[in-house]
Amino acid sequence: MQALYSFNFSRADSLSTEMLRKFPGHYLSHFTRSQYLWWLIITHPESPELENQYYQTLAQSLSSIQEYMGPNKSYEHTFYFINIYAMQARLFLKRKEYLRTIISLRNCINEIEASLGKESLYPPFFLSSGMYNYMSEYAKKKLPFLALYTLLYPKGNMVLGLEQLKAASTSGQMVWETEATYLLMKIYLELEQNHVLALQLARQLAETYPENLIYQWHYLQALELMQATEEARLLKTEIRNLARNSRGISSAQRAYFISLFRQ
């Protein structure tokens, strides 16, 4: 994950391949590989082959965790079930396969329901509970067609959700800290319209991972929304140069980002 956040895709490929070679039956090997594939998908738009690999890897991770845990389901197992189902839903939503999206979300929420209130016992739950509490209540308030569906599951709480995501973002666990910070940034940028907080978080991500063109893109968006015109102009030039000279990305990724920042 450190390699992915740093946009060193060749390193991430090598490490995840080695994990699969050494631990072919462990769910974390397949889960880690699926993370690598997702980052390829979002930096290689419109790649059905990558999407199919991603789906198969998630399916293998799900099968492996079910075999690995046996009759003893731990909090860690529950957490990874949540993530795997959520990652499936993300792919199905991208493909506009809405029935499969709903099925994966239902499975995800069933696992979340078993974890709510247990955050102090297993801190990574702050991430999953925070996202659920915020997004379920947001969907109920902002998306009326989902209101009836949300009645079937535990009531959310947007304020609590933000607090839980903030706890995850300062947990000291690098992956969950980064993921929670990114989610908070997206929420403040796109849903809460709190551009001041969004800018702070986007700057934090961009400074922590200066090679990450996705994080730099969001930082640029936040600057533009804050009308920091000159700073945004300078950053855009820096990002274009970074995209041209980055050693950790492929030629296809480089072309994509150069075209993106030409806009």
| Mean pLDDT of the 17-45 span | 94
Asked if 51 contacts 95 with a C-beta cutoff of 8 angstroms, the reply is yes
Q: What is the pLDDT of residue 148?
A: 58
Angle made by CA atoms 43, 182, 176, in degrees to the nearest 5: 105
| Mean pLDDT of the 156-163 span | 96
| Mean pLDDT of the 153-174 span | 94
The model's confidence at residue 69, banded by pLDDT at 50, 70 and 90, is confident
Closest to 204 measured CA to CA, from 185, 226, 187, 224: 185
| Mean pLDDT of the 122-147 span | 85
- pTM for this structure? 0.92
203: Cβ contacts below 8 Å, ≥ 6 apart: 219, 222
| Mean pLDDT of the 130-156 span | 78
Q: What is the pLDDT of residue 247?
A: 84
